[in-house]
Amino acid sequence: MPKNENGRLEQQTASYMLHRFFVRRHGWFLKDLQSQNETFLTWSTSSPIQILEQHVPDKLVVNTFRDRVNHVGLDLKDVAAVASTIEHLARGEALKRLRLSYSTHGVIQRDILSKQEALQVLHIYMSIYILGYGYGNISTMTPKVARALDDQILELFPAWPQTQQFSEEVFDSFAPKRDYLFFGEVESVFAEITDRYGHYQDIECREMKDWLASVEDNRSADGAGRVRLPDFYNLALNEGRWQFSESREYLRQLGALDESDISNPRVIIPNYVYAPSNCVASSAYYSVCCLDECEGILGVLEQKLSVPKASAAAVADAVRMIPSSTVSGNRTLPPWLLHRLDQIASHHYGYVPIHGRLFLQWLHYAYPRECHFPHIPGTINRKRPEDFEEWKNTTEASKEEMERIINASKIRDTSIDEDTRDESPMWSMTEDLVAPHGFGLYSWRRLASLLHCREIALTLASLSFAFAAHRIYKTKPEFEGVTVKHFV
């Protein structure tokens, strides 16, 4: 990762590292570290201290971390300490959820539960976990509300039977092999289920991606990773894929709609899959959403390069060897893609920063079904369905609207149209770095400091040389008529 002049991480870089860590480890997307109003890489106003300020009562601890951020930055141990603190806070919240589930089921912590009773508590626990968003802090939720969520879970969450099966399988594999359980044992089992749930629910995300890829826009040369809006709605109306019913306005708000050709609006597959509308569980600290496959690709690239920036040639050589679920490794990158990579390098004085919008945009075209298209900051506002409905009442298109769009479209075929461009006109050269003040080994502030020191050194050298020349001019007759300024 980019470091500052002290060889440490600035706050936005630390936030980005924590985001990557929790997504990989638990499938958690930390709420206080991301802005839904910008691109995924807008971290300039983000700080890991925000979580500590809101949830850690010990102000001395918070102030210690704040001083480090403001003066020297964070090292790896500091970031690990923040990560451990966040995990501890999340565990505390899970414990409150478990106590509420006990109370809702009519038992107390001292009770010894049978396996069947523990499974009933588990169902309540998962109902709160999945549907609890919007009902306030878990500390203020009542058993009456929790019971209502448990009663409505099947109606509101169609994937509930599969979730039940997953939870019970983890329970059977992790719980003690006997007919009764103490509270501490139930807590350990439920913590394991919560840890695994983020990766489990991603199976549904991959199925969603496969459904969309099956109707990918193959009528256009730049249709990879895109689905024509009529085909998107056809999945919902005629193929039983009820998920694909978001309105055009909501898709636009999510940043999942390519309207570069207004006559042919298309859904961007990875932008849609990774949208907050597909988050299925939530807590005060994080949401459980579809895992970003592109972060796995970026992780492999980071290991291969081991630097925050590299030449275009080095990046291209590494990327062409990295496969994805739909792209093979050891491939030949098209000339236009290499040209765009050279453009990014030219924009950054010969190097490609791998943690920025331009490179993520490039990765989108290199892996169009895995890497989302990063919009220019300020152009989208990625709202959860609940938040969007407060503004527009609904996130879904009506059946009549979907039918109108389908009927108005041309008959879908498998031929390439006359437009033979390789990339979408959505490409732009607007940068958005994860760490705008830290770039490579030295930050821009460090570079400015070095240039300033160089100016001082040159000035002192010039003055010293001028003084020596002046002494020579005064003492040597052969220098008569030569002015000191020629020596300087």
Q: What mean pLDDT do residues 424-430 have?
A: 89
CA distances from 164 to 42, 53, 200 (A): 37, 36, 12
Decide: helix, strand or coil at residue 316: helix
Is 270 a member of any domain?
no
pLDDT value of position 135:
65
pLDDT digits (tens, 9 = 90+) for 157-175: 888 999 999 999 999 999 9
pLDDT value of position 60:
76
pLDDT digits (tens, 9 = 90+) for 126-147: 999 998 866 667 888 899 999 9
Is 340 a member of any domain?
no
Q: What percent of the chain has pLDDT over 90?
A: 51
Low-confidence winner among 60-74, 102-116, 250-264, 276-290 (lowest mean pLDDT): 60-74
pLDDT digits (tens, 9 = 90+) for 9-49: 888 888 888 988 998 888 888 877 765 445 545 565 667 77
Backbone φ and ψ for 28, nearest 5 degrees, come out as -100, 135
Please give the structure tokens belonging to residue 420.
Answer: 């033979």
Task: Label the pairing between strands 180-181 and 281-282.
Answer: unpaired
Q: What mean pLDDT do residues 58-70 have?
A: 78
What is the model's pTM?
Answer: 0.81
pLDDT value at 297 more than 70:
yes
Is 456 a member of any domain?
yes
Is 259 a member of any domain?
no
51 vs 23, higher pLDDT: 23
Count of C-beta atoms within a 10 Å radius of residue 95: 15
CA distance 417 to 277: 33
Is 461 a member of any domain?
yes
pLDDT value of position 436:
60
For the chain, what is the mean pLDDT?
A: 83
pLDDT value at 423 more than 60:
yes
Task: Count how many domains the chain has.
Answer: 1
Is 470 a member of any domain?
yes
Is 89 a member of any domain?
no
CA-closest candidate to residue 26, choices 364, 322, 370, 281: 281
pLDDT value of position 410:
63
Is 483 a member of any domain?
yes
Residue span of the structural domain in which 466 resides = 451-487
pLDDT digits (tens, 9 = 90+) for 168-209: 999 999 999 888 999 999 999 999 999 899 889 899 899 999
pLDDT value at 435 more than 50:
yes
pLDDT value of position 69:
76
Q: What mean pLDDT do residues 274-283 have?
A: 86
